[in-house]
Amino acid sequence: MSASVAVLGATGSVGTSALDVIGRHPDKFRVTALTANANFEAMRAQCAAFSPDCAVMAEPAAAKQLQNDLAAGGTQVRGGAEALCEAAAAADIVVCGIVGAAGLRPTLAAVRAGKKVLIANKEPLVMLGAHIMREARAHGASVIPLDSEHNAIFQCLPDGGAKINGGGARQAGVAKIWLTGSGGPFRKLPPDEFAKVTPAQARAHPTWEMGPKISVDSATMMNKGLELIEACALFSLDADDVEIVVHPQSVIHSMVEYVDGSILAQLGSPDMRVPIAGALGWPRRIDSGARRLNLLECARFDFEAPDLARFPCIGLARAAARDGGVMPAAMNAANEIAVAEFLKGALTFDKIPRVVEGVMERTEAGRGCDLESALAADARARKLGAELAAA
CB of 180 to ligand NDP, least distance (A): 13
Q: Is 211 in the site for ligand NDP (CB under 6 A)?
A: yes
Name which of residues 330 to 369 contact ligand NDP (CB under 6 A). none
Angle at 280 between CA 257 and CA 134, to 5 degrees: 65
Q: Is 7 in the site for ligand NDP (CB under 6 A)?
A: no
Taking the C-alpha atoms of residue 26 and residue 6, their distance in angstroms, rounded to an integer, is: 14
Name which of residues 47 to 66 contact ligand NDP (CB under 6 A). 58
Residue 147 or 341 with smaller CB distance to ligand NDP: 147
Residue 4 or 13 with smaller CB distance to ligand NDP: 13
φ, ψ (nearest 5 deg) of residue 178: -110, 110
**Quick check: 121 and 107 in contact, CB under 8 A?**
yes
Q: Is 91 in the site for ligand NDP (CB under 6 A)?
A: no
User: Alpha helices, DSSP H only, in the chain?
Assistant: 13-23, 40-50, 60-69, 81-88, 104-112, 122-139, 148-156, 163-166, 199-203, 212-220, 222-235, 273-281, 312-323, 327-344, 352-361, 371-390
Q: Is 378 in the site for ligand NDP (CB under 6 A)?
A: no
Which of 5, 6, 10, 156 forms a contact with ligand NDP (CB under 6 A)? 10
**Quick check: 46 and 26 in contact, CB under 8 A?**
no
Query: Following CA atoms 41, 44, 50, 53 in sequence, which dihedral angle do they give, to the nearest 10 degrees?
Result: 130
Which of 3, 38, 298, 371 forms a contact with ligand NDP (CB under 6 A)? 38
Q: Is 214 in the site for ligand NDP (CB under 6 A)?
A: yes
Residue 259: what residue type? V
Which of 77, 86, 91, 97 forms a contact with ligand NDP (CB under 6 A)? 97
Which residues are 31's β-sheet partners?
5
Q: Is 46 in the site for ligand NDP (CB under 6 A)?
A: no
Candidate ranges 31-39, 130-138, 188-196, 346-354; the one touching ligand NDP (CB under 6 A): 31-39
**Quick check: 248 and 125 in contact, CB under 8 A?**
no
Q: Please identify the residue of the shown chain whose CB is closest to the bound ligand NDP.
A: 12
Residue 88 or 172 with smaller CB distance to ligand NDP: 88
Residue 81 or 195 with smaller CB distance to ligand NDP: 81
The residues that touch ligand NDP, with contacts defined as CB under 6 A, are 9-15, 36-39, 58, 97-99, 102, 120-123, 147, 208, 210-214, 272
